[in-house]
Amino acid sequence: MSELHAITFDLDDTLWDNHGVMLATEQGHYGWLLEELAAWHRARGEATLSLSREEGLADYLERRQALARATPERRGDFTWLRLRALEGQLEAVGLDRSTAILWAAAAMNEFHRLRVQVTPHPEAFDLLETLGRRYHLAAITNGNIHLKRQPLAAYFPVAVAAGELFTPKPDPNAFLNVLERLAVAPSNAMHVGDSWEEDVLPAQRLGMHAVWISGVEDRALPPRVYRIDHVRQLPEVIARLERGVDGA
C-alpha cells in the first residue's frame, strides 16, 4: 500500500456516543430559554409568553425542517437553522424582532455550552495522543459542536464543520479541503467514522482508506474499507495496513 500520512475522524458517534448529549442539549437549551424569558417578562411586569415546552419544541423542529427545505444550501448548517427557527418562533408569539434575535442568540449560546459536554470514549485520549505523534490528524464533522471547545480539540490541529461550509458529508469537498490543508494525497490518508453514507463511501471514492465503526458484520466491504466495532480497535487496522497485509 501507499504510506499512511494522515487520519481524519468523524466526531459524533465515532469518538463519543452522541445520543444522550443531543437529547440533553435539545431539552436543556429550550427549557433554559423558556425559564429565562418568563423571568425577564416577570421582572418587567409583563405577561409571559404562551409557549409550552412540548409544543414549543415541536414547533421549533418543524420550523427547522421547513427552513432546511426552503434553503437547501443551509441544510447542514444546524446552528443557522436553529437561530432562524427560534427567532421566527419568538416573533410569532409576540416578541419584537430585535428582542427575538437577542433571545435566540442567548438560547444558542446555552445550546453550545451543553453541546460540548460530550464524554469521549476513555481510550480516545491515548489513541489520539499516540497517533498524533506519527500522523497528521484532522476532524471532519457534520455536527455543530463547537470545534475548539469540544474535549478532544487539542488533538486536531485541523477541524472542519462540513455543514457550516455548506458541504456536509457525503459531499467530498470537506475531505478535499482537509487533505489540501494537510498537503496529503487521498491515497495516503484514512478516514474513520460511523456512517456508511457520510463517512465510508465518500472517503473510499476519493481513494482514501476508510474505517467504518459499526456493528453490522454482514456487509461486503469495498477495497480500502475496514470495519471495527469500536474506535479502540483502530490501532489493529493501522498496524495491518502498515505491515501491508491488506495489499493495494
Q: Which residues bind Mg ion (CB under 5 A)?
A: 10, 12-13, 194
CB of 231 to Mg ion, least distance (A): 11
d(CA 229, CA 17): 13
In the bound state with Mg ion, the residue whose beta carbon lies nearer, of 11 and 95, is: 11
CB of 144 to Mg ion, least distance (A): 13
Phi/psi region, residue 75 (left: phi>0; alpha: psi -120 to 50; beta: rest), is alpha
Does residue 170 have a cis peptide bond before it, meaning omega lies within 30 degrees of 0? Answer: yes
CB of 95 to Mg ion, least distance (A): 35
In the bound state with Mg ion, the residue whose beta carbon lies nearer, of 164 and 194, is: 194
In the bound state with Mg ion, the residue whose beta carbon lies nearer, of 77 and 194, is: 194
CB of 194 to Mg ion, least distance (A): 4
CB of 12 to Mg ion, least distance (A): 4
In the bound state with Mg ion, the residue whose beta carbon lies nearer, of 10 and 87, is: 10
CB 160 within 8 A of CB 29: no
In the bound state with Mg ion, the residue whose beta carbon lies nearer, of 95 and 139, is: 139
Helix axes 97-115, 78-92, angle to 10 degrees: 140
Query: What backbone torsions phi and psi does residue 175 show, to the nearest 5 degrees?
Result: -65, -45
